[in-house]
Amino acid sequence: MQGRKPGNQARKQVESRRNIRLVLAFDGSPYHGWQIQPNHPTVQGIVAEAIGKITGERVTLHGSGRTDAGTHARGLVANFETASAIPPGQMVRAFNSMLPRDIRVLSARRVALDFHARRSAKSKIYRYQTYCGPVMPPHLAREHYHFPYPVEVPRMQRAARLFVGEHDFTSFTKKTALADDESVPKNMVRRIYGCALQKKGRRLLLTVEGNGFLRYMVRNMMGTLLEVGRGRFELERFRALFERRDRTLAGFTAPAQGLILVKVRY
C-alpha cells in the first residue's frame, strides 16, 4: 500500500466510472411524457428508480429529449454514469424484470464518458400515425389518431416535402412559446433532413427526420397537413407559413397518441 502514488487512486476512480447508453421503447399512454414531474408517473422517473434499485446509486438519467404526455417511443436513447460493474447484458435483464411491461430497455452498452444522449444527438426521427377510415380498428387505437374524413393524399404529400430544409418553425410550435418567456428558445430555426407522408391502406404515416424539434412541432405539422388534405388550406398559403411566423395561421395540433419517437441518430 505504501508505494502507491496518490494519482493512481484518482485515475482508478475515473476508470471505474462507466457511462451506460440505453435504448428504450415505451407505450406512452399511461405516462406524463419522459421528463420527471412531481406527482405524475413519467418514463424518466420510473427508469431512474429502476437504475437506483439495480446499482444502489442515485444517478442522473439524461434522455435524448422530452416527449409529450401520451407520446410513444420505439428507440429513445438515454445515458447515465455509474460506478456499478454489472455487465450491460445483465442490466437489460434486470431492467426488464423490474420495469412495467409498457416500458422496455431494448439494449444497454458502455460508451465513452463524453457521450450525452441529448447533446451528442445528430438527428431524431419521429412518426405520426393517422387512421382515416370511418371506424377505428381496436388494434390501432392506442397509437393512431382517428381522422374520419376523406383527404386528398397527393396534395398532402406535396406539402409534406415542403418541410424539408432549414426553416423557421414559429408557426408550428406551441402557442405559449410565443409569449415573452425566458425558458422559451429564441431560435426557432430547425433543419429537416427528410419528411414524407406514406399511405398504407387507411393509415397515413408521416415520417420526419430533423436536427431538432420544437414543442408540438410534429403534431402541428400533421394537423396542418390534414387541413391541406381537406382542401381548407391552399399550398401557397402553406408555403408562406415559415415566413409569417404566426402559430395562429397553421392548422390544429394533432393529439399526442399518434406520435412516436422512432430513432435517435448520433
Q: Active-site positions? A: 68
DSSP state of 21: E
24 or 151, CB closer to its own copies?
A: 24
71 or 157, CB closer to its own copies?
A: 71
Encoded amino acid at 152, one letter = E
Size of the site for its own copies (CB under 8 A): 22
Asked if residue 138 binds its own copies (CB under 8 A), the reply is yes
Cβ pair 40, 32 in contact under 8 A: yes
Asked if residue 88 binds its own copies (CB under 8 A), the reply is no
Grid cell of 257 as nine digits: 397518441
Asked if residue 103 binds its own copies (CB under 8 A), the reply is yes
Cβ pair 28, 70 in contact under 8 A: yes
Binding segment toward its own copies, per CB under 8 A, in 94-102, 114-122, 176-184, 249-257: 94-102
Asked if residue 141 binds its own copies (CB under 8 A), the reply is yes
Asked if residue 263 binds its own copies (CB under 8 A), the reply is no
Cβ pair 229, 130 in contact under 8 A: no
- The least CB distance from residue 216 to its own copies, in Å, is 22
**C-alpha–C-alpha distance, residues 173 and 221, integer Å:** 9
Grid cell of 145 as nine digits: 389518431
Asked if residue 96 binds its own copies (CB under 8 A), the reply is yes
Asked if residue 137 binds its own copies (CB under 8 A), the reply is yes
Cβ pair 19, 111 in contact under 8 A: yes
77 or 188, CB closer to its own copies?
A: 77
**C-alpha–C-alpha distance, residues 42 and 50, integer Å:** 13
Cβ pair 25, 263 in contact under 8 A: no
**Residue ranges in contact with its own copies by CB under 8 A:** 25-27, 72, 74, 92, 96, 101-106, 134-139, 141-143
